[in-house]
Amino acid sequence: MKLATTTCDFNKTRSTAEERIRGLYGAGFRHIDLSDYNIPGDTARFEGENWREEAKKIRYFAESLGMDFVQAHSPGGNPLSRDDKFDKLLETTIRSVEVCAELGIPQTVVHAGWASGIGRDEYFERNLEFYRLLFPVMEKTGVMVLIENSTKANMGGNWYFLTGGEMRDFIDYAGHPLLGAVWDTGHANCEGHQYSDLIALGDALKGVHIHDNRGKLDEHMPIWSGTINMDEVMEGLIDSGYVERGGVFTFEVDSTVINAGNWLHRRSEYKGGGRLLNPPDEVLVKAEEMLHVTGEYILRQYGLFEEGD
């Protein structure tokens, strides 16, 4: 089973995709989840006329290190809001799918929208209207789009996919062969269930976001920092057929250490010096090495680690 992680791991200290990829490589990772979620720098470089050349630079850089891309994440936003930001969200999402094709990335996560005061049927219908706008670029490029589960800790009273069963029902409702699902273990931990959801997703499960929390907030912590039972997750991945289908074990742990402005846990203010306000890159490097050690141990316990990764 391939072991991967997201370029988000180095967002705090590195400004380009190439610099982040080098950080993953140094920690031992050889498979990349390219994150374009709320990253203005990398989003902007794909907006101009030379976006294909920019994408090729990233691809050639990764290939020079013997690395490949297994997954991506599109820019974030709420497609159900249909506010003045919608056109930009649609434009950047379509471009992110095109970038995936240039980089050889087979699939990318595109979040569904959320809304309050509606029921399941309307929620399905309105989200399908959005995803239908992506079908042409998906069919042109062959890139699969994945919906993702969330948690009430993030969504409050808004309608969103919280269970594997809901996600599978929507995928069947949409009826498009290039629409699948990514299962987020941290979001699921806040909801209190994993195995049954993975089984319910079945062959619609195409990717995972592996991270931990303490069951209350979406903290994106390393495994064993929180309350996830990883045996439940691993057995769900095996019994659902995900492992047999070549599914990748992909971390989304971007809070091994946090910056002062972390959206969940802001560091207390002090009027004196700020030399220790945020973690330095060298600490993130060590944390990334530990992340790889953790992933390798988990996969080896189930006889799934691919040598050379």
Q: Residue 26: pLDDT above 60?
A: yes
Answer whether 112's CB lies under 8 Å from 74's CB: no
Q: State both tokens at 246.
A: 């070549």
With respect to residue 104, please indicate whether it lies within any of the assigned structural domains.
yes
Task: Judge contact between 125 and 170, C-beta under 8 A.
Answer: no
What pLDDT score was predicted for residue 43? Answer: 65
Instruction: Specify the pLDDT at position 273.
Output: 84
Over pLDDT 90: what percentage of the chain?
Answer: 89
Instruction: Assess if residue 268 is contained within a domain.
Output: no
Residue of 168, 230, 169 whose CA lies nearest to 202: 168
Q: Which domain holds residue 72?
A: 3-262+274-301
Within a domain: residue 15? yes
Residue 230: which CATH number?
A: 3.20.20.150
The pLDDT of residue 41 is 57
pLDDT band, very low/low/confident/very high, at 291 (cuts 50, 70, 90): very high
Q: Cβ(200)–Cβ(242) under 8 Å?
A: no
pLDDT digits (tens, 9 = 90+) for 104-119: 999 999 999 999 999 9
Residue at token pair 């936003």: 77
Q: Tell me, what's the pLDDT at 241?
A: 98
Q: Is residue 281 part of a domain?
A: yes
Residue whose C-alpha is closest to residue 10's, from 278, 254, 220: 254
115 phi/psi in degrees, rounded to 5: -160, 155
Helix (H) or strand (E) holding 238: helix 230-239
pLDDT at 269: 87
pLDDT at residue 61 is higher than 80: yes
Amino acid at 68: D
Q: Cβ of 228: how many Cβ atoms within 10 Å?
A: 22
> What pLDDT score was predicted for residue 101?
96
The Cα 293–Cα 287 span in angstroms is 10
Q: Would you place residue 44 in the very low, low, confident or very high pLDDT band (cuts 50, 70, 90)? A: confident
pLDDT at 40 exceeding the cut of 90: no
d(C-alpha 234, C-alpha 115), whole Å: 32
Cα–Cα distance for residue pair 223/5, rounded to 1 Å? 13
Structure tokens at 81: 């809001």
- Per residue in 201-258, pLDDT tens? 999 999 999 999 999 999 999 999 999 999 999 999 999 999 999 999 999 999 999 9
Range ranked top by mean pLDDT from 76-80, 173-177, 269-273: 173-177
- What is the number of domains present in the chain? 1
Assigned domain for 306 exists: no
Q: Per the domain annotation, does 240 fall within a domain?
A: yes
Calculate mean pLDDT across residues 162-180: 98
The reply to whether 94 falls in a domain is: yes
* Residue 309, in any domain of the structure: no
pLDDT single digits (tens) 82-97: 889 999 999 999 999 9
User: 136-160: per-residue pLDDT in tens?
Assistant: 999 999 999 999 999 999 999 999 9
Compute the mean pLDDT over every residue in the chain, rounded to the nearest whole number.
Answer: 95
